[in-house]
Structure 1
Amino acid sequence: MKRPFLSFLLLAVMAAGAVLPAAAEKADRDKPMNAEADALRYDDLKQTSVFTGNVVITKGTTLIRGGQVEVSQDPEGYQLAVATAAPGKLAYYRKKRDGVDEYIEGEGERIEYDSRADLVKFIKRAVVRRYKGATLSDETTGGLIVYDNNTDVFTVDSGAKNSTAANPGGRVRAMLSPRGPAAGAAAPAPPSGGPAPVLRPSTTLGNGTSPKAP
Structure 2
Amino acid sequence: MIHLPSPHLLRLLLALGLCALVSLAHAQKKPSSTAALVPQEEPSTMILSDTLHFDDTKRESTFSGNVVMTRGFMTMNADNLHLREDAEGFQYGTGTVKPGKRVFIRQVRPEVYEVLEGVGVRAEYNGKTETFDLLGQAVVTRYICGQHFDTVSGERVRYSQKTDIYEAFSGPDSANAGGRVRSIAQPRARADAAVAECKAKEAGLPAPTPKLSPATPATPAAGTRLPPAPVRP
TM-score (norm 1): 0.66
CA contact (8 A) 1:11 1:33 kept: no
2:183 to 147, 171, 174: 174
CA contact (8 A) 2:144 2:194 kept: no
| Larger fraction in helix | 2
Match of 1:62 in 2: 74
Q: 1:183 to 1:109 in 2, by over 3 A?
A: closer
| Larger fraction in strand | 1
Match of 1:158 in 2: 170
1:110 to 122, 126, 129: 122
- RMSD in angstroms over aligned alpha carbons? 3.5
CA contact (8 A) 1:23 1:150 kept: no
For 1:116 and 1:52, locate their aligned partners in 2 and report how far apart those are by CA, in whole Å. Answer: 25
Percent sequence identity is: 34
Between 76-85 and 127-136, report the one with greater CA deviation: 76-85
CA distances 1:35-87 after superposition (whole Å, capped 9, x unpaired): 11111111111121111111111222222211111122346765322101222
Q: 1:49 to 1:187 in 2, by over 3 A?
A: closer
2:42 to 22, 27, 30: 30
For 1:101 and 1:187, locate their aligned partners in 2 and report how far apart those are by CA, in whole Å. Answer: 7
Aligned pairs for 1:18-97 (under 5 A) are 23=28, 30-74=42-86, 78-97=90-109
CA contact (8 A) 1:24 1:97 kept: no
Please, which runs of 5 or more residues in structure 2 have no aligned partner? Answer: 16-21, 32-38, 197-233
CA contact (8 A) 1:28 1:60 kept: no
Deviation (angstroms), 1:184 = 8.9
Please, which runs of 5 or more residues in structure 1 have no aligned partner? Answer: 1-7, 15-19, 189-214
CA contact (8 A) 2:43 2:71 kept: yes
TM-score (norm 2): 0.61
Larger Rg: 2
